[in-house]
Amino acid sequence: MKTIGIDIDHTLLDYKKSIEILISRTPKLKNIVAQNKEELKIAVSQSFGNEYWTELQGKLYGEYVRFATLYEGAYEVLTNLTNLGFSWYLVSHKT
């Protein structure tokens, strides 16, 4: 049996909803417009510095990960891999 490690962050998990909720619940970000992590990183880093971005990133991948959703087709890919005899495990460089 072959084994595959799959990165979950921005590969299987879509953080768009997590980002929307993080922005809406953080008063300091009321004027920030971002649709994805890169846009949020640039806006926050330019407005408040990298240290604050690092703090927010910890929240995004910590308490706000529960709002992330699977990308369309992600579940099917994992099911197909299993049906083809692959074992797989999830990897996150955020942890």
What percentage of the chain reaches a pLDDT higher than 70?
98
The answer on pLDDT for 69 being more than 90 is yes
Cα–Cα distance, 78 to 38 (Å, whole number): 26
- What's the pLDDT score for residue 31? 92
Q: What does the pLDDT average to over 72-81?
A: 95
> Any long-range contacts for 71-79 (C-beta under 8 Å, 24+ apart)?
71/11, 71/12, 71/13, 71/14, 74/12, 74/13, 78/6, 78/12
Cβ-based neighbours of 9, under 8 Å, separated by 6 or more: 15, 61, 92, 93, 94
pTM score, whole prediction: 0.83
Tens digits of residue pLDDT in 19-53: 999 999 999 999 999 989 999 999 999 999 999 99
**pLDDT score of 83 more than 80:** yes
